[in-house]
Chains A and B, each alone.
Chain A
Amino acid sequence: MPVHVMGLEGQYPLLFLIWLAPLVGAVVIWAFGPRLRTWAGPIGCATIAVSFLATLASWSDAIRRTPEGATTVVGAHQTLGTWLSGFNLGLLWDPLSLVWTLVITGIGFLIHFYSMGYMAGDRGYARFFAYMNFFVFAMLTLVLSDNFVGLLIGWGLVGLASFFLIGFWYERPSAVAAATKAFVMNVVGDVGILFAIFIMIVAVGSVSYGDAFAGVAAHKFSPGLLYLACAMLFIGCAAKSAQVPLHSWLPDAMEGPTPVSALIHAATMVTAGVYLIARCWPMWQASPDARALVGAIGAVTALLGAILGVGQWDIKRILAYSTMSQIGYMIMGVGILADGAGVLHFFAHAWFKAQLFLTAGIVIHALDNEQDVRRMGGLHKRAPFAFWSMTVATLAICGIPPFAGFFSKDAIVYDALVLGHPLLYAVGAVTAGITSYYMFRLLFVAFFGTYRGDVDPSSLGIRHPELAGTSAGLAARPHDEGSPHHVPGWLMSAPVAVLWIGSIFAGFLFVGGTSSPWYRLLEPVFGGTLIFPEGNAPISEGVSSAIVLALVLIGIGIAYLRYGNAAALRDAITRIRQESIRMPAVLTNLFYFDIAIDALFVRPARAFGFAFGRIFDPLIIDGAVREARISAGWLGHLFRSFQTGMVRAYALTIVFGAAVFIVYYAVVVVR
């Protein structure tokens, strides 16, 4: 079986350091957590820092190009071993993995640092860092593998880490339910990837990327089979990246602590689907149906996330839906083979989404675990740093030039037009407008006006004040010890400050066409046409950007009129109450997805389980065992009735037997 290796084969001990340092951290903190106590935080941060520094040190290995025969190979490859024929496991270190690893370890480090402040005083402090380190290890497994099996292992492990971390405050039943829901929906995705692996083995006989892509080039996949493989992989992506219809776990995942939401459900884990599709671009290149599927679902998710974000009042849920929407953009981008733009959006999004979540965490922390924006207000005076950070990040996500989101979002949308998907272009543009509307809604309602925390919740339209602060609620931190440690505030502010850099400047990587840093980094992986697609666009890029910017400004304007101008701020309480009461049912029921999944899958599964567990098992299986016992007893009872213990009865039996025997002898034998 010919083995196609992507990347220069060799020994790279630094790769092992990158990959395994977080695992060491997780194991150490798991093992010694109770004794480490507050040392768990620095240890957890240190391992990620080690990983990050090793990444930087291996940069040159990732971008090195080596001619091999007629082709040029980029990156490095470390073979781990061969399990069976066709199962060659190894680590692939090329620019695409480099980008992801930088985000995972770099932004991961910032979030770990932030957590030292956010989780201070929590009884599960050490456990948190163990889980976070484990997550980073799992994500690196996913990203560094050179084969689908390693990918699947990492895929499952990040799902597990997500389960641990969403349900971190496990005494809260809502957290446990959310963790279970996330895990179950992710398992659906795992099955999809597993089927794709089956198809790989059948078609190509190997699970490594190199062999698979070589097989695609050599036409070993029939078009239908290739589409099926891509669709199965996409099921995994949809589950992991919260695309329609497997998206409903992501808002509920906000039950976890805010750093978890920042790291896992914004910057890294949910982007695993984007990584997969970007990695498998040769497969998508060869299957137009797969491109259409992924592009459509990406666009639908982007639009749906934005619409749902309009109706949310929990700050973390607003951000969750915005994540879903932005990942829809990324998926759409990589799906239609605009990988350069899609991956750039991932990179930029990691910066500003992390910034949004961490700032939200600062606000939540400052307001004593309040998460409902209706009860916030006037924070721009009370928490100026948070206000300005949130503003910068919001500008980035809306795509206001020159902030980061502008370059990436416009690139995706314009590439859709260039590649001949005008409908996707329209959806993307409109979604950009809606995105700016709800993000500025958040900004105005939470930060402007006067503080509404002392106002009676029902006059704000909050129907369940005891759940105010919803996901967290005032009973949020059951693990808090009596007197919280007094940790310095800069533990939480410093990472956010660092994130300013990316939110502002990340987009400039894309400036400069074919001599931009981004192009030079990723061209060896994708080839030029995936970074700057060629095609016929009816309008130029400048006009397209202008259209999108116009829609964005319209969105901001509407938000300003509804929430931001002087009249709105004066009547904030009334307006908020009106909006809460009149929120359309479609939005409050989240487009009925949860209800549909419940009716289609959960209830039948429960009924099935009930039928087997309460009816079939006790009645038939236990019944069979019972019947055996009863019939044994009955038989014994029957024979017992002969044992009267009375001598005469026994004698009678003997006489009876003798008579029978005599008669038998007379009639049968003698005759």
Chain B
Amino acid sequence: MTTFVILAVLIIASAVFVVSAPRTVYGVIGLLANFFCLAVMYLTLDAEFLAVIQVIVYSGAILMLFLFVIALLSSGVRPFAPGKNRLPNVLIPVSIFAAIAFAGLMFTFAHTSPITEHASDVSSIFGPAGTAGVFGSVADFGRALFTTYLLPFEATAFVLIIAVIGVIALAGDVDPPRKGPGRRAAPGKPREPILKERV
């Protein structure tokens, strides 16, 4: 229980920090902390394989990607500042919506029949982690993934291919080859940003 409470507090705090960090890099670090604490929580839930996957993929790959992009772009926007004359500060309204939604969810859960609780005991009858036949083992996970859930697996692979192609198409070519000397002649002039037009 204490594990849970500590982890929960950390997760919530880091989540809030991510969303409200003054600089984006801080937010990424907060996200890292969040992912890590979540991985630990998965461990308390006997999902060892997924905990490791969480660390490797999420905090290892995705957050690296975030850092690269942050490095690529400048970010000089203060958090929660209202835009110049565009959408005003919506923090208050959306927080209210979120609170209402949360209250609704809790209300729902309070009125549904309780589930038989299988506590997260580490010292369980389930046996050592990793052994086939134990809940949360890699062997079981692998067998299920490649037999019962083969189709979603393959589909997800397909999604990944598409994502790779999409990323290359979107952000691949930076500068197409120029024709004629005109453009090169005045290199000092900054080009117009793409989407500044107010339609």
Name A's B-contacting residues (CB within 8 A): 644-646, 648-649, 652, 655-656, 658-659, 662-663, 665-667, 670-671
Contacts and interface: CB of A to CB of B under 8 A. Distances in A.
Given A656-B97, A666-B104, A666-B108, 16 more contacts: A648-B90, A652-B93, A652-B94, A655-B94, A656-B94, A659-B97, A659-B104, A662-B101, A662-B104, A663-B100, A665-B104, A665-B108, A666-B107, A667-B104, A670-B108, A671-B111
A646 B98 CA distance: 20
Nearest to B96: A659
A663 B106 CA distance: 10
A646 B84 CA distance: 13
B140 to A, nearest CB: 34
Contacts of A663: 100-101, 104
A495 to B, nearest CB: 85
A402 B116 CA distance: 138
A659 B87 contact: no
B86 interface: yes
A15 to B, nearest CB: 82
Given A665-B108, A670-B111, A671-B111, A644 B87 contact: yes
Contacts of A644: 86-87
Contacts of B101: 655, 658-659, 662-663
A648 B87 contact: yes
A572 B100 CA distance: 112
Contacts of B111: 666, 670-671
Interface of B: 86-87, 90, 93-94, 97-98, 100-101, 104-105, 107-108, 111-112, 199
11 contacts: A646-B87, A648-B87, A655-B98, A656-B97, A659-B97, A659-B98, A659-B100, A659-B101, A662-B101, A670-B108, A670-B112
Contact of B87 (A649, A655, A670, A671): A649
B98 A662 contact: no
**Chain B interface mostly:** helix
Contact of B105 (A645, A656, A662): A662
A663 B99 CA distance: 11
Contacts of B107: 666-667, 670
A83 B12 CA distance: 97
Nearest to A656: B97
A652 to B, nearest CB: 6
A126 B163 CA distance: 87
Contacts of B86: 644, 646
A9 to B, nearest CB: 86
Contacts of A658: 101
Contacts of B112: 670
Contacts of A649: 87
Of listed A646, A662, A665, residue having the most chain B CB within 10 A = A662
A656 B87 CA distance: 16
Nearest to A663: B104
A626 to B, nearest CB: 28
A279 B94 CA distance: 96
Contacts of B100: 659, 663
B104 A655 contact: no
A644 B90 CA distance: 15
A668 to B, nearest CB: 11
Q: Considering residues B100, B111, B112, which has the most beta carbons from chain A within 10 angstroms of its beta carbon?
A: B100
A663 B101 CA distance: 6
A597 B183 CA distance: 85
A665 B94 CA distance: 19
Nearest to B101: A659
B91 to A, nearest CB: 11
Contacts of B97: 655-656, 659
B53 to A, nearest CB: 28
Contacts of B199: 645
B12 to A, nearest CB: 19
Contacts of A652: 90, 93-94
Contacts of B90: 648, 652
B54 to A, nearest CB: 25
Contacts of B105: 662, 666
A153 B86 CA distance: 77
A644 B198 CA distance: 11
A205 B93 CA distance: 85
Contacts of B93: 652
A645 B86 CA distance: 10
A666 B101 CA distance: 9
Nearest to A645: B199
B198 to A, nearest CB: 9
Q: Which 7 pairs of residues, A with B, have the shortest CB-CB distance? A: A659-B101, A666-B104, A662-B104, A663-B104, A659-B97, A666-B107, A666-B108
A658 B98 CA distance: 9
Contacts of A671: 111
A665 B199 CA distance: 39
A69 B86 CA distance: 106
Contacts of B98: 655, 659
Contacts of A656: 94, 97
A610 B112 CA distance: 74
A667 B94 CA distance: 20
Nearest to B195: A645
A666 to B, nearest CB: 4
A671 to B, nearest CB: 7
B147 to A, nearest CB: 35
A250 B16 CA distance: 101
B90 to A, nearest CB: 6
Contacts of A670: 107-108, 111-112
A667 B183 CA distance: 63
A649 to B, nearest CB: 5
A671 B90 CA distance: 32
